[in-house]
Amino acid sequence: MSRSAEFYGGNDRNAYLHRAWMRRGVPDHAFDGRPNIAIANTASELSPCNAHLDEVAQSVKNGIYEAGGIPYNLPMVSLGETTVRTTAMLWRNMAAMAAEELLRANPVDGVVLLGGCDKTIPALLMAAASVGIPAIVVPGGPMLNGTFRGRPLGCGTDVWKLSEEVRAGGLSADGFRATESSMIRSRGHCNTMGTASTMAFMAEALGMTLPGLAGTPAPDSRLLEQSHASGRRIVELVQLGITPGDVMTPAAFHNAIVALAAIGGSTNAVVHLLAIAGRLGVELTLEDFDRIGEGVPLLVNLQPAGEHLMEDLFRAGGFLAVLHEVRDLLDPAGMTVAGRSLVEELPEGGIWDHDVIRSVHDPLQADAGIVVLRGNLAPSGAIIKPAAASAELLRHRGPALVFDSVEDMKARIDDPALDVQEDTVLVLRGCGPRGYPGMPEVANMPLPRRMLEKGVRDMVRICDGRMSGTAYGTVVLHVAPEAAVGGPLGLVQDGDLIDLDVEGRSLQLLVPDEELRQRIPSAKLTDGYASPVRGWEQLYVDHVQQADSGADLDFLQGATGPGVMRESH
């Protein structure tokens, strides 16, 4: 018996209640055992990148009807990456938990996961993994390329660049403001290889989208065509009994890590993939990212690691053309919701612009995987994205300049008396999952004005928080354990020498162990913004895990399954 039939079948009082209250235009045959499909829709006018998803949902709905299913729009928690405070990451787990509970509680047999901005696709995948009903992802797609005064503007990436030019005196405030409409010129999420684009591609590499769908621009009519096809396919997945656990296997995560390196994807994918794996019971660790990603070439010439934007990648051949170049590194056991392996779905060649998608024989970088660093400053690990860093800073030793909070950093970063030199290592702490709380995207902190005026455009930065996938620079992030839970980052003092050796996978604080044992964490770690801790925030602080475990809640590890709950009346 299907899940929906357990609600609607029979002639007792409860079956009557379930059916009768749904008869508001729903035909009688909706209750005859046909697959009932939820469209988990994160559309919201307060989530700018997801504002168009109601139109996409309609195409999904049409496909479900055509295949004999019964679709239902199910609004989900929507997190606007650019708008919500303190950080959307504070609510990723809440969105996942809400989606999980709604999917389990309602009479649905399968779900289409409709997301766009950074946290929505990870949250929906976490939920689907925990519930275990058939699911398919439809990403909302990137916006079209923007230009200003004849040059392309990349969402996020150029925000960081242009804002630094304003601070350095090279661009007026009016000029900066004039770029806004030029940068954001259509519906869709960021058009750089930021977290939204990255996670759409991760969903496809995991096998959870129809092959070739991820990366289709939001205004492109082919997005609606593929959304319709996804609606048809979810009905077939229900009939076949194929669940997320059947698709997102260890082989699928292997393929996602290879893809992450080849596209120069966001470091945020690390915490999201770890969290999704944790819901499935797949053993995935930071070391897997280092091991599998090592030696994978960077092939996609997109901002922030390159020059072009997502619309260019789509016209140049798209994600599958990239994967074809590294097909020998993929695990052929990785399946897709289309019913064939990911490797079987790859086209022969199909690169139409070799400046946007490089051949494996002519990569942008020969080794572009996320690097995991360990040492006495990060016993549980930290990560760095060499593809977005300055090569000359990947081996660096310099004195620390410490900021105890985001507020502390903002108050002092432009102080003309700041004790900072080109070799200084900027340290920002109090930004981890618990310490902020929520692990904000602040690790790529702005450079001190004194350095900008000297022409310096990159410095080594270390933080227990995250950075936007659109950001760039030599940034060590996700330092674990974080300072707020007693991590060594909380013991660093101004002037301490820090040694970074990316090739050697090392991050060391050059202070004797005996001296470190005598130090106490900075009291200023608690001097940042103190919001009222209650409700979800209290639950989050009490139960969130560290970055090396995906920053999920400890009690949400594993899956509960699709079982129908006890009767309501």
Give the pLDDT confidence score for residue 173 in this predicted structure.
86
Give the pLDDT confidence score for residue 182 in this predicted structure.
84
Reported as a single tens digit per residue, the pLDDT across 365-406 is 999 899 999 999 999 999 999 988 999 999 999 999 999 999
Give the pLDDT confidence score for residue 170 in this predicted structure.
83
Among 139-143, 479-483, 532-536, the least confident range? 532-536
Reported as a single tens digit per residue, the pLDDT across 318-335 is 999 999 999 999 999 999
3-state DSSP assignment of residue 205:
helix
Share of residues in the chain with pLDDT > 70 (%): 99
Give the pLDDT confidence score for residue 529 in this predicted structure.
47
Give the pLDDT confidence score for residue 285 in this predicted structure.
97
Reported as a pLDDT band with limits 50, 70 and 90, residue 26 is confident
Give the pLDDT confidence score for residue 489 in this predicted structure.
97
pTM of the model: 0.95
Reported as a single tens digit per residue, the pLDDT across 484-518 is 999 999 999 999 999 999 999 999 999 999 999 99
Distance CA 185, CA 208 (A): 29
Give the pLDDT confidence score for residue 4 in this predicted structure.
94
Rounded to the nearest integer, the mean pLDDT of the chain is 94
Please enumerate in sequence order all residues whose Cβ is within 8 A of that of 269, keeping only pairs 6 or more positions apart, or say none.
Answer: 195, 198, 199, 202, 256, 260, 469
Give the pLDDT confidence score for residue 530 in this predicted structure.
55
The predicted model gives 28-50 an average pLDDT of 94
The predicted model gives 410-437 an average pLDDT of 95
* Rounded (to 5) percent helix, strand, coil in the chain: 40, 15, 45
Reported as a pLDDT band with limits 50, 70 and 90, residue 147 is confident
Question: How open is the CA angle 146-388-306, to the nearest 5 degrees?
Answer: 40
The predicted model gives 75-94 an average pLDDT of 93
Give the pLDDT confidence score for residue 526 in this predicted structure.
59
Give the pLDDT confidence score for residue 168 in this predicted structure.
82
371-530 belongs to CATH 3.30.565.10 = no
3-state secondary structure 317-373: CHHHHHHHHCHHHCCCCCECCCCCECHHHCCCCCCCCCCCECCCCCCCECCCCCEEE
Reported as a pLDDT band with limits 50, 70 and 90, residue 179 is confident
The predicted model gives 134-161 an average pLDDT of 89
Q: Is the pLDDT of residue 358 over 70?
A: yes
Please enumerate in sequence order all residues whose Cβ is within 8 A of that of 99, keeping only pairs 6 or more positions apart, or say none.
Answer: 40, 76, 77, 123, 124, 126, 127, 128
Q: Where are the domains of the chain?
A: 34-144+186-345, 146-183, 371-530
Reported as a single tens digit per residue, the pLDDT across 277-305 is 999 999 999 999 999 999 999 999 999 88
